[in-house]
Amino acid sequence: MSQNLDDRLTRLEELTFFQEERIEKLDAALTAQQMQLDNVEQELASARTVIRALRDKLSQQPENSLPPHSMPERW
């Protein structure tokens, strides 16, 4: 019966080891994904800033102004 308990204990120790290893890998993956998400959020904030600036610039132009491709060239 002692052998059975030793086997069970060994098996539990093995399971614990592999679970800890898996948790560490999952933690590393989660950390990497969070860093990617942070970068995407920063890029989105930058894009929003550019869009707002363009929207403001367009709203300041008169509505009947020529589009850039129709304007005469300046030499």
pTM of whole model > 0.85?
A: no
- State residue 71's pLDDT score: 65
Q: How far is the C-alpha of 8 from the C-alpha of 5, rounded, in Å?
A: 5
DSSP type of residue 42:
H
pLDDT, residue 63, reads 73
Whole-number pLDDT of residue 74: 61
Predicted local confidence at residue 53, as pLDDT: 93
The H or E element spanning position 4 is helix 2-60
| Domain spans of the chain, in order of start | 2-52
| Model pLDDT, residue 69 | 74
**Which of the residues in the chain have pLDDT under 70?**
1, 66, 71-75
Q: What's the burial of 19, exposed, middle or buried (CB within 10 Å: 0-12/13-18/19+)? A: exposed
How far from 13 is each of 8, 9, 18, 27, 35, CA to CA, in Å? Answer: 9, 6, 9, 21, 33
pLDDT at residue number 59? 82
